[in-house]
Amino acid sequence: MTFRTILPTLLMTVQVFAQNKLPISGYPADSVTARLNAATVTGHQPAGIESTRMGAVELPLSMIRNTPVLMGEADVLKTVQLLPGVQSGAEGFSGIYVRGGGPDENMILLDGVPIYNVSHLLGVFSVFTPEAVKKVTLYKSSFPARYSGRISSIIDVQSNDGNLNEMKGSVSVGMLSDKFHLEGPIVKDKSSYSVSFRGMHTFFIMPVVNLFLNKDADRFNYAFYDINAKVCDRIGNKDRLYFNFYNGKDAFTYNGVSRSYSGIWINEMRHVTDIYNRDYIRLKWGNTVLAGRWNHVFGGNLFLNTSLSYNSYRMRTLSESEYESIIEDTGVQTAYEKSSMNYRSGIDDISLRADFDYSPGHNHAVKFGAIYTHHIFRPETTNIHQKGVESGKAIADTSYSSKGTGRLPGDEYALYLEDDFRIGDHIFLNPGVHLALFSTQGKNYLSLQPRFSARYAFADGYAVKAGYSRMAQYVHLLSSTQWSLPTDLWVPITAEIKPVTSDQYSLGLYYSGMPGWEFSVEGYFKKMENVLEYRDGALFISNSTSWENNVAMGEGRAKGIEFFAQKTAGNTTGWVAYTLSKSDRRFADGTINGGDWFPYRYDKRHNISICVNHKFNERVDLSGTWVLASGGYMTVPERQTFVANPLGDTIEADYISGRNNYKLPPSHRLDLSLNLRKQKKHGERVWNFGIYNVYGHANPNWVVVDYKESKLADGTYQYDIVLNKRSFLMFLPSFSYTFNF
């Protein structure tokens, strides 16, 4: 439950008795109690230490905007990584791994619409522009019944509604990108708008630079942009309309040209040959979201939120290679080869949902609704064309086209019901159920997902919570690296591949009796079924063709305990978080690791984060974060030898003792950020100076497997494995300039 789900319930009653106005937002609100004409209206807080459910955290926008991050780019997901129970993947990147889950097990929503690829620059930044964000809520257990589709977490990002009374905005120039935000009334007190744009400098600069390069010089460019737009309009006293638009794109191009000369002999005469090579790569990917929402108030205790949305993810790669050799003296073409490949994938979703909020009394907040989503998966389309000429004769002119697994539709239907209510002054309960049906390839998967959370409040600010959630997931991400690559493929469940399910049990103790402070400790155990891994010996590539034959279904388990202390008031705010956790997998059919348990790739035993914001005065504030994390795991061959087979051929052989048999070294770093503010005649000027990884620790951004050759006494050779750590995110200063008006 979010700030924007309970507020309508409160304001509906208020408007009936007094104001006769419709709430600004269509979602429920934080805990609020108001008295009007001897009636009491109570809201139920959706997240935080005072809410009924566990594992729900609402991130303060000030923390998101002030947390020091790479290159000074404030980022939603980088801040989420600092919370207990959440781990990063590769050091410095924005991937998140929640309570032993994988990167595809997080449902990331923008105004209720799923976003499939949430990363820019190989995962260094997320697609969410902070100025366009109104609220961010993380659910990692005790999931509300209205959510489903992933088994590890829900990250609900709600965009800025705009300002009904006055125009406001900001302009920001940083080291990597420029940002612009504007919001204000269309018709005062009736309708509003919010528009945000973020773009990388190279989007404009590199095309100009390339104009001045030598014609034979290599040309390249990488750029991304994000556009967010939202319009809100009040129609009468009981209706409100919302229209949302998001479009974000990444583009990379490379055009490499080389020319060389060599001498060849023809009929005992030496001729100079002009050799020309060209390699061209163009890679584009991005998301588009369109959504409309209608809010209607039926009366003092019933509210309807109806939405229709479309979201699309597209990826396209075009690569070309060309080779030509010409004898300069005669102009004779001796060889010519040209090949091209066009690779595409994508997802389209159309979703219709109706969400009801019903308040039968001040002790109850009932939510129920229905959801329908039509998925169209296009995992892979490849077109290849090759042709060649040698000595003036055509030697090849072929074309190849493949649609991989083809167009894969899927239909998802869901009903849900939940009630957040209180018994007496100490017991708070939130039971719920989510019933889902996924239909694909003529097969139906029905999933009953019960949810329950309870809170018992003692005196003096102490409380105990317990929760249980069952979740189901109908999509998988095929990935060959620890980074977020655009070539990673989303594929749905099939007639052979079952949905992933999880059952999570959690228990926690909380204390809020000290003004301005919150303390919590939560423990959890999660059991997962039908998790996917590549089989031993399978080729780790993102390819949808026959992917079902390369993976195995198994089970997983994760457990941990999380400590969290947060200061929420005063000039100094922040938190300290520590997580002790373990996550592993097993594939009983023996196709992976001989059927034995093995550690999950992102099983990082210890995670510590310390975040501090200090406001010296109205003009100066300083933020710092320090993080430490155990290393994850990777699979490496322990030695390599050359073995002679009975036919006399020598072949290479790797010895690997087990899956994820090597533990990476731990990583840690300190980041600092300083804001210098000054009020000007027409607004506020803000200079931001930051340093990422202040003491320059060489964290393992990735690890390369090399081989060391040694000759044995019998004359054979042995190749020992040497792991080389690669680090590049060390002591990176940044600055940005922002003007708020």
* Mean pLDDT score, 261-286: 80
pLDDT at residue 30 greater than cutoff 50: no
**Helix residue ranges per DSSP H, 216-305:** none
Q: In what order do the strands lie in the sheet with 639-644?
A: 650-655, 639-644, 717-726, 702-711
Strand segments (E) across 328-426? 332-358, 364-390, 393-402, 408-423
pLDDT digits (tens, 9 = 90+) for 126-149: 899 889 999 999 999 889 999 999
Dihedral, CA atoms, 451, 456, 462, 465, nearest 10 degrees? Answer: -20
| C-alpha to C-alpha distance for 676 and 620, rounded to whole angstroms | 5
Residue 674 in tokens: 């300083």
Of residues 267 and 441, the one with the higher pLDDT is 441
pLDDT digits (tens, 9 = 90+) for 678-706: 999 889 999 999 999 999 998 887 777 77
CA contacts within 13 A on the Cβ side of 208: 5
One-letter amino acid at 664 equals L
**Collapsed DSSP state (helix, strand, coil) of residue 632:** coil
**Collapsed DSSP state (helix, strand, coil) of residue 10:** helix
pLDDT category at 85 given cuts 50, 70, 90 is very high
| C-alpha to C-alpha distance for 133 and 61, rounded to whole angstroms | 8
The CATH number linked to 54 is 2.40.170.20
Q: What is the pLDDT of residue 690?
A: 92
- Residue 65 φ then ψ, to 5°: -80, -20
Q: Identify whether the C-beta of residue 263 lies closer than 8 Å to the C-beta of residue 275.
A: no
pLDDT at residue 725 greater than cutoff 60: yes
Residue 49 in tokens: 């230490």
pLDDT at residue 197 greater than cutoff 80: yes
One-letter amino acid at 40 equals T
CA-nearest of 115, 146, 121, 130 to 80 is 130
Of residues 586 and 551, the one with the higher pLDDT is 586
One-letter amino acid at 306 equals T
**Residue range(s) defining the domain that contains residue 412:** 3-17+19-740
Per the structure, the count of domains in the chain is: 1
| C-alpha to C-alpha distance for 395 and 413, rounded to whole angstroms | 54
One-letter amino acid at 293 equals R
Q: What is the pLDDT of residue 360?
A: 87
| C-alpha to C-alpha distance for 127 and 116, rounded to whole angstroms | 11
Range ranked top by mean pLDDT from 115-119, 469-473, 511-515: 469-473
Tokens 């089989």 label which residue? Answer: 535
CA-nearest of 172, 31, 203 to 688 is 172
Question: What is the H or E stretch that residue 456 is in?
Answer: strand 443-457
Burial category of 40 from C-beta neighbours within 10 Å (exposed 0-12, middle 13-18, buried 19 and up) = exposed
Q: What is the pLDDT of residue 628?
A: 95
One-letter amino acid at 448 equals L
Query: Following DSSP, what letter does each residue of 460-515 receive, concatenated?
Result: GGEEEEEEEEEEEE-EEEE-SSSS--TT-EEEE--SSSPPEEEEEEEEEEEE--ST
pLDDT at residue 551 greater than cutoff 60: yes
Pairing of strands 620-629, 500-511: unpaired
Whole-prediction pTM: 0.84
pLDDT digits (tens, 9 = 90+) for 39-52: 334 445 667 788 88
Eight-state DSSP code of residue 659: T
pLDDT category at 34 given cuts 50, 70, 90 is very low
Strand segments (E) across 50-148? 56-59, 86-88, 96-98, 106-110, 113-114, 119-120, 125-126, 133-139
Range ranked top by mean pLDDT from 3-17, 51-65, 597-611: 597-611
Q: Identify whether the C-beta of residue 34 lies closer than 8 Å to the C-beta of residue 14.
A: yes
* Mean pLDDT score, 515-536: 92
* Mean pLDDT score, 450-465: 93
Question: Which of 135-144, 151-160, 450-459, 546-555 is least confident?
Answer: 546-555
Dihedral, CA atoms, 476, 477, 478, 481, nearest 10 degrees? Answer: -150
pLDDT category at 480 given cuts 50, 70, 90 is low
Question: What is the H or E stretch that residue 203 is in?
Answer: helix 202-211
pLDDT at residue 579 greater than cutoff 60: yes
Q: What is the pLDDT of residue 397?
A: 67
pLDDT digits (tens, 9 = 90+) for 309-357: 999 999 888 888 888 888 777 777 778 888 888 878 889 999 999 999 9
pLDDT digits (tens, 9 = 90+) for 405-417: 567 889 999 999 9
One-letter amino acid at 247 equals N
Q: What is the pLDDT of residue 15?
A: 34
- Percent of the chain whose predicted confidence (pLDDT) is above 90: 46
| C-alpha to C-alpha distance for 51 and 41, rounded to whole angstroms | 17
CA-nearest of 403, 418, 278 to 358 is 418
pLDDT at residue 424 greater than cutoff 50: yes
What average pLDDT is seen over the chain? 83
Give the C-alpha distances (Å, rounded to integers) separating 674 from 61, 65, 175, 235, 592.
17, 12, 15, 44, 49
pLDDT at residue 215 greater than cutoff 90: no
pLDDT digits (tens, 9 = 90+) for 218-250: 777 888 999 999 999 999 889 999 999 999 999
Of residues 715 and 107, the one with the higher pLDDT is 107
pLDDT category at 74 given cuts 50, 70, 90 is confident
